[in-house]
Structure 1
Amino acid sequence: MKSTYYLLPVVDLWKVRETSEYRVVYDTRGRQSEHAKHWRDGEILDERAYFRTITEPATLSIDNISERDEGDYRCRIDYLKSPTKNSLVRLTVIVPPQKPTIFDDNGKEVPSIAGPYVEDGEMKLTCMVSGGRPEPSVRWWRNGTLIDSTDRTTSYKNVRTNELLVRNLQREDQHAVYTCQASNNNISQPVSASVTIEIYFKPISVEILSSNQPFSADRSYEIPCQSVGSRPPAQISWWMDGKQLSNHSQQNSADGNVSTSTLTLMPTRSDNDKSLTCRAENTHVHGGVEEATLRLNVFFIPTLELQLGKSLNPDDIEEGDDVYFGCEIKANPQAYKVLWKHNGQVIQHNQKAGVIVSNRDLALQNVGRNQAGNYTCVASNVEGDGISNTVNLKIMFKPICRSDQKRIYGVARHEQAQVLCEVESFPPPESFKWSFNNTAETIDVPQIRFKSTSVLSMSTLQYTPVTEMDYGTVMCWANNLAGRQIEPCVFHIIAAGKPDPPFNCTLANQSTESLQIECIEGFNGGQQQSFMVEVFDQQNDILQANITGSNIPIFTVNGLGAGKILKILVYAVNSKGRSEPVLLEGFTLKIAEKQTGSPTEFTPMLSVLIGIMTACLFVTVIIVGALRMKGRRQPPHQPSVMPLKQKPPISLPLHSESEELKDDKNPDVIPANKDSDYQLTSATQTPGERTYSVHSDDLHTLQGTPIPTIEPVVFQNGIPRDQKIISPIVGNEVTYAELCLGRPLTESAARKDDTTIYAQIDHNRRPPPPPVGVYHHREVVTVRTPLMGCQQESCV
């Protein structure tokens, strides 16, 4: 430090400094003061020392004073006429210390920032100061506040240190400024050095910012997690049951105090009830880990596993056994509805029928073959419907005949027929047996005559009739593991012939240019049949339309022209020829004529005529009504009848499958005999046929008059040709019958009276017994079955 010091003498005279080393003399003898001589002895002061005579008092100035300039200064004044005077002045030179240096606990100099330190840790700083006279004192200050600390000397000369130790660093210590100050006087400013400390903090809190709403399986969600208070910003990671997840991103706030991570999660049903953890970690701080955990509540569609009862052998279930299923359901939330399905149809609880349904179990008591098939269970919750696996229930049952197979084979002599026998069974049949039956005998068919295929559950018999006795009935039995077929499959071998004509033909949808024909097909003659129709103009007998090759007797004929009267012929055709035609009469509608001319004006005369006609019409209606009321009265002895509006429209099944076998050359006939009972029966022994009897004594018309003589009724396939019989059946008995006589083809042949006769049948009433010795004639009409050997079309 460069300074100038002034030595003031006691008296106002010239000053001289003299030491043992050098001496400075300022001589003014015999001269004026401006010509005084300044000289020095030695080079120590050099040019730094000089006198000032201008000022009062005069001073000795020393520039750039140093430590070695310290000492005693003597001022001697010599007078010409007076004694010499001397005075001593003590010069003390203060040397300030050098700028402090701060070191960390590793001995590394800290320039301006100390650390980083960790939260709850300690900080140790050492301030070192060298030089200074007198020895300086070293102190620590924090943000302008003196810290109680003690300095000490070191083994090094003129070096002093002060060690600062701060324990349990907290967040308020972040960026605190610590200053080391050295001072040895009150004149000059103390020297100092400052550092700012940096501290790393662990996260204060971690939170998953998600509501408590449940998640749906297999849907994507974004779940945020926020960490606060970490310095530097925490690294956020996601974990699920110890497995780290990777599909997330992180953002930090500008000051680094808040960190937010967003996880993209698509939970599955297996993630339900798992723990999702958000972990915020500051790796610079020991123990700087904070976690937040979320228990996943994942909603998912129910998953079901259907199993057959553990005690059941799925390959050994027979008819009559008890079967039960178990449905294991995993669902969140719990299923509110459980359904059981058999072949896609919902199973209803019916304990009387042996079907017991619960949410998780299904019991089938005394199972039948119709209960075999695929079983599933369906459970529903708010997420949707879950379907179980399919369990196929196999029920062993004896073979039975397929219902939709061909039963009648029309074969010519020396023609080979392929009779196909198909059965339903489980397991598939192991063997088949065939038998032939005619009127003379029953013969077992040798195995070489037929070929069986157990995989397809069928057997084929190759049969060739040679004589008339070779026509009859063949029967087929199958055997499987469950046993032998109880009821055989029955096939009829008949002589092939032409088909019967269709019946019950009606016209519908008649328009100006088209009409529709609908019939019921008749017996096909043992061969596959088709149908054809021919439409003629009745006036000129010109063919208008011809439709062939239809598999069903339903035709739509177009392009006929308006206002025509038509003759329609319907045929059935097979390989043996064409049937007799069914003749129908029809017409097409006329085109409406345009009305032209002026409107009719009502004159007084016209009004009178209209009034007279109205009165006559009214009187006629009254007379007709009275006559009808009189005709409806019944004799007291006649049973009551069902009114026309209340007759039930139920058809009476008068024929069975075997009754379709008829030779159109000899149709069945019901003789016109009022005294006999009409009975329809079958000569075959095929199970399931029904026989109905109608007693003519019990038939009465609604008008109370006796039944007129009925013409012979021709039966075709068990139904009277061109007639209808409609009767309800109660307890397998006929309680009501409707006989509809055939309508003539032309209007001239039409009867004036009603062709429909209604009768009430009393089953409890029987005709009186015939007199002794008198034979009561009773005609029995049967439908011909050619295979059973009856040579007559009807047996009386």
Structure 2
Amino acid sequence: MALGTLAEIAVRLVISGYIFAVVVYVNASGNWDKDDDLVSTSKVSAVLGRTATLPCDIEPSTREDRVYMVLWFRDYAVKPIYRQAYLTVFDVRGRAFNKALNWSDSTAVGPRAYFVTVTKPAALSLEAVQLDDEGVYRCRVDFKNSPTKNFQVNLTVIVPPHQLFIYDSSGVQVESVAGPFRVGVEFGLSCEVRGDDHGKILKCRGENPAMTDAYLEDFFKLNVVFPPKVQLHLGSTLNAENIKEGDDVYFECKVRANPEHHKITWRHNGAVLTQNYSAGIIMSTQSLVLQGIGRDNAGNYTCLASNDRGETTSPIVNLRVQFAPVCTLKEVTIIGASLEESVKVRCEVDADPSEVDFFWEFNNSGENFEVTGQARFDGNNGTMSELVYTPQSERDYGALTCRGRNAIGKQETPCIYQVIPAVKPNPLNNCTIKASLNQSSEILEVECVPGYDGGLHQEFRLEAYEVLTGNLRVNASSVSADLPIFRIAVADLLPATHFYLVTYAVNAKGRSEVSLLEDIMLRDSEKHTGN
């Protein structure tokens, strides 16, 4: 029996003076077992808007046995859309009664579905049938002793004609009565029906109700041309919730079309896929195979089918690819810290599932040590872990590494954080100044050579002061993030003509000593333009 783990819950009820003991046996997984063989397949048709009856034989192989649970599944899903569990109920005299508890997926069938056991065989009734109800339904029956039974039902939704027209031989539409016609005179009526399916038989019959067996009829098979109707499914042997990096997956594009489709186009996140054997992308008839998938293969897939009547895109199928943690930032992160200074180190990873356990180590002179006294954890939150690290001696400078582990596995390459002594940056040097034109504006350009950054990210500043008054005329930042390059509009310095420049670097520890450019003289525009 594919019962999984059984849980027994005893419940006592007091109803109208009777005491009942209720024992519930619950299938812990409630999932479709891929090893379960389908022993019977049936075809069922239902008219749109009416009730579909999906048979499922729940009779045990022996009279003493009984049903524990009935589960219904849709297409290739592993989670049920309907479940009916059976309870054994005893009154105070020890007599046994059966009681059923049912549940239905509100996103699939909801209250439209209910299981009927008084019929032979039992059946799932699905009311107010919709177009998207069409498909394959699977029934699994678990017994106390007998082997599990599995059945498959293919439901077809029939869309009835929504318009029926009858025309006489002159092409005039007949509203209710045709005729009268003279005896012996030939006449013709034509029927036009809209909404019938391709391949169905259409019958037209004319009769005289005043005479017995006085009728004529004709029928023919409909050949309805229509653009493709497309459905996309993940491979039937795959579990959508258990696909991980390195697996092979495939999709099946099911197409109904008349005339037959002549082309299928596959898309991943909106981008067209092409066959590429070296990349593991293989297309065959109506299937797409992806070999050795990675994280970048996750996302939304569609197939588009084309024929002479048009083209149709399938509903989206999302592919989830689970993988072990990897660093969000691939580069080594530099962290500057003084002795006895606490710095917060944040390790962030990408992972699916996102429940990750983290492991921190410290590396100095090629040896790895578990992070202990000089650090404390500031908490883990899914795919992020924070560590407060305090270097207490020169030996505590080195590389902190962080690895994550989730249900798929342990992170292969760690995230690396290089902890170095942090100081103020060194001053800028070799500064030069030149004048230039920029869109008819006169520009002074100052360029320097950066010094040591102190182990931290540094920025560059320039200040221009008037010599006579000492007033600050310009405060500018470098136009480059990596190099100290400053551009000053001459108009911002005027009317002063004699000034000096101060340049320096800044990081989180403070600012460097200044570099001074003294005795800068502005000449008349005509004299210094272009120099």
Name whichever structure is richer in strand by fraction: 2
Compute the TM-score of the two structures, normalised by the length of structure 2: 0.49
Q: Could you say which structure has the larger radius of gyration? A: 1
Which protein has greater RCO, CA pairs closer than 8 Å, 6+ apart? Answer: 2
TM-score, normalised via structure 1 length: 0.35
